Chain A
């Protein structure tokens, strides 16, 4: 690690440490929710809940990077618990599945559940591979 990156890491760690834990989750949660809403509406709202699938896969990949790097403490509260936690959503996943199923869209419901499960799992696996290749902290 160069002196410059060490200094940046030290300053950012000190800055985050000065912020109380609840505020980190508040800021991360607000940012994650807004990003989910903007990306979700950009992806579109057709018959298939593609927005929810997209944020869940992307957010799981990002949380995987944070956890395997590993990032801990205040940075994990801000970016992991706050941002990635709020960016992804389980309630929209379960309610969308139930809605598709009871409307008779059973194939779409099954594809949605399988897609969320396999693609988010794959995204976390990919994050582990990326961290291994890059070297981690």
Chain B
């Protein structure tokens, strides 16, 4: 990240706009899906999309720094949430809490891997770079 104040201002603006969009999308999903399902849906779908973006960046990097800052650091990181997930886990009935914790991890990791595979399918080149 550049120390140039103008570049920092642009980055902060992109992250702020992305954060507003991501948090709003999560809030909408939370009002549409009851209970723990809203957070789970946001966390799993966000992991899929971020997995795709990160692995795409490692390959072709067609998006560039600014688009990636907006979408990854801004939108997707704010769309998903760890704090709500943990507070929900702690406050749930023990069996529900443990299932929610393990289910979120299993689905989140699987979704990130799926995102990686989708990135490989979009751009099959540079496998050495990714496995390095």
Q: Which residues on A are within 8 Å of B, measured CB to CB?
A: 22, 25-34, 36-38, 41, 56, 59-60, 62-64, 67, 77, 80-82, 84-95, 97-99, 102, 113, 116-117, 120-121, 123-125
Contacts and interface: CB of A to CB of B under 8 A. Distances in A.
B118 interface: no
B16 A30 contact: yes
Interface residues of B, number: 52
Contacts of A123: 86
Contact of A89 (B27, B77, B111, B113): B77
B104 A90 contact: yes
B87 interface: yes
Contacts, number: 172
Contacts of A125: 90
6 contacts: A26-B24, A33-B78, A37-B11, A41-B1, A81-B84, A91-B50
Given A91-B49, A93-B82, A121-B90, A37 B24 contact: no
A30 B105 contact: no
A50 to B, nearest CB: 15
B11 A91 contact: no
A94 B15 contact: no
Nearest to B18: A33
Contacts of B11: 37
B84 A85 contact: yes
Q: Which 8 A-B residue pairings sit nearest by Cβ, starting from the closest?
A: A33-B19, A29-B23, A86-B78, A94-B108, A90-B80, A88-B82, A91-B50, A91-B80
Given A34-B12, A95-B47, A22 B24 contact: yes
Contacts of B79: 91
Contacts of A64: 87, 90
A67 B84 CA distance: 10
A37 to B, nearest CB: 5
Query: Of residues A31, A91, A93, which shows the largest number of chain B Cβ atoms within 10 Å of its Cβ?
Result: A91
Query: Of residues B73, B76, B81, which shows the largest number of chain A Cβ atoms within 10 Å of its Cβ?
Result: B81
A98 B20 CA distance: 27
